Every structure is written in structure tokens, then in C-alpha cells.
Structure 1
Amino acid sequence: MAVTCIRVHDLVSGEADPGGASVVLVDRLWPRGVRKDAFAHDEWCKDAAPSPELRTEFHGGDLDFEEFSERYRAELGSGEGAEAVDHLAGLAADPGVVLAFAAKDTEHNHALVLAEVVRAAAGGGRHQ
């Protein structure tokens, strides 16, 4: 099982290689400056992204990463978010899944939180 996170722009530029894994865009909005025909991906899983309200609060500076992570995990724990996690956990089997995201910050973004939740779900753990 492999779950990795790679910036969309790194995939498009060729700086990163998904290595045969399924590439899933996990943003609710299409990445700025990326032509749809330039980004080779297998799926676009909008339901795995944070709600528009949560995303706006985080990017607006109203939430720190820790608070954002807690609230995002709660969103992933039920409804369409939980279904998306289960789907991504299924894709995590060999050869794995790449969670593609557009955020510039590679250390504090929703894809990292999502990857932890997906790994736990793929390993048989509860995702909350």
C-alpha cells in the first residue's frame, strides 16, 4: 500500500513521477494555470477536499494548521468525505495512489492530512 502527495504543478512539469500509481486530484477547484489537457490524472475526487468554508477559513488565516486538520478529519469521518476516503483507500493497493494537490505549501496542506486518513483506512484503522 502506498499513498503519496505530489503537487499538480510538479507532475505537469515532469519534476515528479507518479511511478505507475493512480493519480487523483484531491482539490475541489481546478488548479490555477494548469490546462486540463496538460495534467495526466486518473480521477478528480472533489469529495475528498475540504469544504469550501473550511478551505476559506484556513487560507484566510482564520485557522492554524492544527485546527484545520482537526476539522478536516471530522469532515472526512462522515458522509461523502468518508466515502471518498474509502474509495482512495481501495486505490492505495499496489501500485498505490498519488494525491495530487495545487497548494504551494508542501508541509501544511489538506493532502497531507488526507493521506494520513487514507493510510489509516487502508490499514484497517478507523479514520476520524
Structure 2
Amino acid sequence: MSSLPAAENVVIKGIREEAAEADGYRVLVDRLWPRGVSRQRAALDGWAKDATPSTGLRRGLHDGTVPWPEFVADYRAELGRTPGAEAVADLRRRAMSGRVTLLVAAHDRVRCHARVLREAVLGVADPDLP
């Protein structure tokens, strides 16, 4: 038996999309609570703040001072250290026994930190990331 979850067990979904039974464990992976979303509508099972980019890194990406390739490298490094590594390990354990849906408020799913986090949880490189 593999010590890594199956790729289909870790998915990314927008926090504003309807919750579905197929989502499995629904976890918010944004450091800040998304505006305009009630806790009831979010239907969360968890909020993994420790699995999110640091405030400085997040702000750098959003204001353009940290280019995407640098953000990816720095965020990977953060996920390799405590507390990020512990949060990734927890999500990986959950994904070994069922689906984990990483919920984000981001509209841009191409340059979204959740892609880097998904890669870390799965323990495989995403060929589309720098």
C-alpha cells in the first residue's frame, strides 16, 4: 500500500461553490476568512491556517513584489518547516482515507497557493508549477 494519497483524493474548490457530499473533508486553506461567506454556507470541517503562506509571502504575491516562481519556491520551503509541515502531514493523513477538498477564496486558480499545497499533500511535483 502506498504511503501517499491518490491524486483524486485532494481537490481544490472555491469557497463560494456549493458544498457537496462528495467533497469529503472540507478545509479552508486561506489565512483570512473570505468576505461575504457565512460559516454556515462554508460548511467547513476544518481551517488549516498553518498550511497557508505566511502573511509577508501572501502580501508580496498580491502586491507584485514577489513573482510567481519565487512565491512557489518560498511557499514550498514554508511547507517544509513547522508548522506548515505538520499541517501538510495532517491533510495527507486525511487524504489517505478519503477525499480532502482544499477551499480557497482566490478567483485565479492558475496562480493559487492551493496548487502548491495540493502538490505537498500528494507528495508529487506538479509539472505545471515553476
After TM superposition, the score normalised by the length of structure 1 is 0.86
Q: Is 2:8 the partner of 1:5?
A: no
- The code of the aligned residue for 1:106 comes to R
SS of aligned partner of 1:19: helix
Count of matched residue pairs: 117
Segments of structure 1 that go 5 or more residues without pairing to the other structure are 122-128
- The code of the aligned residue for 1:9 comes to R
Percent identical: 44
| Counterparts of 2:63 and 2:21, CA distance in 1 | 31
| Counterparts of 1:31 and 1:64, CA distance in 2 | 23
User: How far did 1:94 drift?
Assistant: 3.1
Contact kept, 8 Å, 2:25 with 2:100, in 1: the verdict is yes
User: How far did 1:69 drift?
Assistant: 0.5
Segments of structure 2 that go 5 or more residues without pairing to the other structure are 1-5, 125-130
- The code of the aligned residue for 1:5 comes to I
User: How far did 1:20 drift?
Assistant: 4.5
Q: Which runs of 4+ in 1 moved over 2 A?
A: none
After TM superposition, the score normalised by the length of structure 2 is 0.84
Q: Deviations over 1:26-73 (max 9, x none)?
A: 111101111112210100110000000000000011122211110000
